[in-house]
Amino acid sequence: MTLILQQLVEGLASGTIYAALAVALVMIHRATRIVNFAQGEMATFCVYLAWQMTVWGLPLYVALAIAAVLSFILGAAVFRLAIRPILSAPPEAIVVSCIGLFIGFQAMSLWLWGSDNLQFPRLFSNTIWTIADVRISANTAGMLVTLALLAGLLAAMFRFTRIGLAMRAAAAEREKSPYVGIEVETMLTLGWGLAAVFGFIAAVLAAPSLFLSPTMMLSVIIYALAAATLGGWDSPAGAIVGGLVVGVAETLGTTLVKAIGAELRLAIPFLLITLILFVRPQGLFGRSGTTRV
């Protein structure tokens, strides 16, 4: 029992990473019907930027804040330069662009910082609490709190602010939005920027445990895809729940199911996606009819 609880806690920790990246994917998909699988590589690049700034002597949290702003700019710029011009092109063309971005950003990180694993500073203290034999680290707690905070902020923004409402409108009703004075492309650009920030946060949470390398997010994106599919591709809340479920399923599955084990941990997202697609294709939080392509 303790073992299971312990795995549950570990799973929630990695789940926060998947959730944050899944939120980024869902935000972009909701607004532009694109699955940006270069999101992880873009995020890794920005974590490298943050790391570089700490090497130059900036305090960690300052470096993170600056890198988050740069992520936003990067996401917005990628949309304006590479995606917006082909937004009306066949979906396959956009897929190739994303592959190009994927290769390009990975290569850029490799070129500037090399392929060695770099130690990324921990964000939270090393304290470990033991509650009923289950060890909970301050790191795990910190990650969960971070995610909860971000999710709350995002929800509040979408719900209560003028810009958030406009972003939702631009995503849901691209045709009608200009009739109320919303510049749709500006909103989509903001959406891509914001998504890039979420991707960046996912990568920052992942970096201390996965070590910083150009391919750090390669497997994370797989879990995030599973999380987004599980939650529903139009629901940020679903993405968060999906991320946590995928995280827990991963740790429980690899410890409890011998046939899977550590080697085949990537089978878990695959099985989850298969399951959800045949049981409830629109995802747990998705509404049917919105899964159109």
Nearer to another protein, 4 or 264 (CB): 264
Residue in this structure with the two tokens 């959730």, named with its chain if needed: 19
CB 191 within 8 A of CB 169: no
Q: Rounded to a whole number, what is the largest CA-CA distance in the chain?
A: 59
* Least distance (Å) between residue 241 CB and another protein: 18
Contact between 175 and 16 (Cβ < 8 Å): no
Residue with Cβ nearer another protein (148 or 275): 275
Residues near 269 by Cβ (< 8 Å), separated by ≥ 6?
Answer: 222, 223, 225, 226, 246, 250
CB of 261 to another protein, least distance (A): 8
Q: What does DSSP assign to residue 85? A: G
Tokens 């599955």 sit on residue? 253
Indicate the residue among 59 and 281 with the shorter CB distance to another protein. Answer: 281
Q: How far is the CB of 110 from another protein (least distance, A)?
A: 7
Which is closer to another protein, CB of 116 or CB of 130?
A: 116
Give the SS3 label for residue 291.
coil
Output the six-digit token pair for 168.
């939702």
Of 144 and 246, CB closest to another protein: 246
CA distances from 35 to 57, 113, 129, 224, 244 (A): 36, 27, 39, 11, 20
Residues in touch with another protein (CB under 8 A): 35, 37, 82, 85-86, 88-97, 99-108, 110-111, 162, 165-166, 168-169, 172-173, 175-176, 178-183, 218-219, 222, 225-226, 229, 233, 261, 263-267, 269-270, 273-274, 277-278, 281, 291-293
Q: Which is nearer to another protein, 63 or 225 (CB)?
A: 225
In the complex, the smallest distance separating the C-beta of residue 95 from another protein, rounded to whole angstroms, is: 6
Closest approach of another protein to the CB of residue 108, in Å:
5
What lies within 8 Å, CB to CB, of 124 at 6+ separation is: 137, 138, 139, 141, 142, 143
CB of 61 to another protein, least distance (A): 30
